[in-house]
Amino acid sequence: MSGPHRLQGISASAGYAEGPLFDLDRTAAHYTARATAADEKAALEAAIDAATARLAALIETADGAAADILEFQIAMLGDDALGRPAFAAIHAGQPADRAWRQALDAEIAGYDASDQDYFRARAADIRDIRDQVLQALTEDGDVLAPAGAILYGDDIAPTRFLETDWSRGGGIALKAGSTASHVAMLARSRGVPMVVGLGASAAKLAGTALLDAEHGGIVLSPSRAEIDAFRQSSSSFAARRDLAGTFLARPAMTRTGTAVRVQVNIADPSDVDGIDIATCDGVGLMRTEFLFGRTLPDEETQYRAYRKVLEWAGEKPVTIRTVDAGGDKPVPGFTVEEGNPFLGLRGIRLSLARPQVFRVQIRALLRAAVHGSLKVMFPMIAIVEEYRQAAAMFAEEQATLAARGIAHEMPPLGIMVEVPSVAIVPEAFTEAAFFSIGSNDLTQYVMAAARDNAAVAHLNSVRHPAVLRLVAAVAAFGQRQGIPVSLCGDAGGDPASIPSLLEAGLRDLSVAPAQLAMAKAAIADVSV
């Protein structure tokens, strides 16, 4: 591979790592079939015992969440029901490795198919159990990653994480993965940098890589200049993180004493399990696309997801964005294939074009509203008629729920400011209860630079004067009209952008949970 290669994913645990890539998905060693079914059975039993012993040894040194995961895995391995289909297959003439793999794959498929994120994330734990036993079966000596390596693969097993010595650096870069996985949770608590959702890359990946898990990216085959810049960001991050720890528990305030609200962005209800509500001012953006991952979610599933977050937040506000599918977030059976998806049927445009799907979400939101301080916002609003149409649908569904005697409440309805037409003429949108600036999309539309295209990444800066002028105009307009204005894009949590955003007049930012402390620390450095 020639020249640097950059992949973008999602940060699951902030931090920086520079080191050799270690491929997690190397094919397993070959299994030698035994002579008889009885021998196959004995081989599998021995492998299960060996894997159990290995986990039991790990549990000795594990604590808290890690010990819980291991105890769960040991309990699964100790349950005859897990291996029963495998032993039945061996009895029918299958070799032990294939029998075990098939039995466990069927179990894994059950978890993968769950509509609940928590149970879906358990698939990785079962895969881990599967591979532990396969490894014991094939007597494959442990191939440990070199110290400081960046573990790269589809997904990573919890035991692999626990066996790795992180004291000498290193990180995790996953093509798939989830920020809700056990490993993501462990990585955050141990401060191991981790990025998920990098996608499949056609390129053969090897050599040194730079993992920027603060912004969710990785650079492969970096140039000298990139390495230098990376090391600067890395040491600045370390310094900021040490300092930031002291800011987390305090309300955000600038050097000159101006209060700034700092809320969090979440993508999944389970994200809040790791956040102390006392450290933030609420949820500035709850994405709802996660609900639309595989199938269109029913009203009850959505209601439960929204309610969980509202109850967690208590009296603090939770701003939920109606589904923002389309663009770079296709949903089978919902979005349409388009030549230019960022400029096509996405966000509110898609919701209005699929009223049956949208109304389910509206009802779930109206019902959940009684459980806390809910605000709802619409993504990709370009003209006021879209807002009016969506608000009218809320009123209709409210009347339906009232007629059926179902508990509900009408939340304040606001809009995302991310299409330039709104940022340029905010006075057309005074009906909206609040504005939330989506800086990622606003920037890409103002600069005409797709945010998923590394070739134009240099254009994609929220700090370009054209973008900042629009942000300042919207903030000033909101202040004059008494319309609350916040910002929920990545820039809100970027210490380098925070001074410009506060200078533009914003006093309400919503950031990724992992950036909360650093954002507060950056705010304390600004004099406005």
Partner 1 sequence: MSASAEASVLITHEVGLHARPSVKFTKLAKTFAADVEIALAANGPWFDAKSIVKVMAAKAPKGTVLHIRASGDGANDAVDALAELVRRDFDEGADHVRTA
- Residue numbers of the site for partner 1 (CB under 8 A)? 65, 68-69, 71-72, 75-76, 79-82, 107, 110, 114, 116, 118-119, 122, 125, 185, 188-189, 248, 270, 273-276, 279, 304, 308, 513-514, 516-517
Closest CA to 43 of 128, 134, 132, 129: 134
Instruction: Give the alpha-carbon dihedral of 225, 226, 229, 231, to 10 degrees.
Output: -110
Annotated active-site residue in 215, 280, 408, 488: 488
Other CB atoms within 10 A of residue 208 CB: 14
> How would you list the strands of the sheet with 171-174, edge to edge?
5-8, 217-220, 208-212, 16-23, 150-153, 171-174, 194-196, 10-13
The residue among 69 and 504 lying less far from partner 1, judged by its C-beta, is: 69
The residue among 270 and 288 lying less far from partner 1, judged by its C-beta, is: 270
The residue among 82 and 506 lying less far from partner 1, judged by its C-beta, is: 82
The residue among 116 and 398 lying less far from partner 1, judged by its C-beta, is: 116
Q: 385 to each of 314, 323, 382, how far by Cα in Å?
A: 33, 18, 9
Closest CA to 382 of 442, 433, 465, 330: 442
Of all residues in the chain, what percent are helix, strand and coil, respectively (each to 5)?
A: 50, 15, 35
Annotated active-site residue in 5, 182, 280, 464: 182
The residue among 108 and 149 lying less far from partner 1, judged by its C-beta, is: 108
User: Catalytic annotation on 280?
Assistant: no
The 8-class DSSP code of residue 259 comes to B
The residue among 24 and 516 lying less far from partner 1, judged by its C-beta, is: 516
User: Catalytic annotation on 5?
Assistant: no
Closest CA to 435 of 420, 421, 422, 447: 422
Residue bearing tokens 């790791």? 274
Supply the minimum distance, in Å, between the C-beta of residue 81 and partner 1: 4
Supply the minimum distance, in Å, between the C-beta of residue 401 and partner 1: 19
Instruction: Extract the tokens encoding 275.
Output: 């956040």
Give the distance between the most distant pair of CA atoms in the chain.
83
Q: Is 158 helix (H, G, I), strand (E, B) or coil?
A: helix
The residue among 51 and 462 lying less far from partner 1, judged by its C-beta, is: 51
Instruction: Extract the tokens encoding 474.
Output: 């919207």
Tell me if 74 sits within 8 A of 59, measured CB to CB. Answer: yes
Tell me if 416 sits within 8 A of 402, measured CB to CB. Answer: no
Q: Is 414 helix (H, G, I), strand (E, B) or coil?
A: strand
Q: Mind telling me the catalytic residues?
A: 182, 488
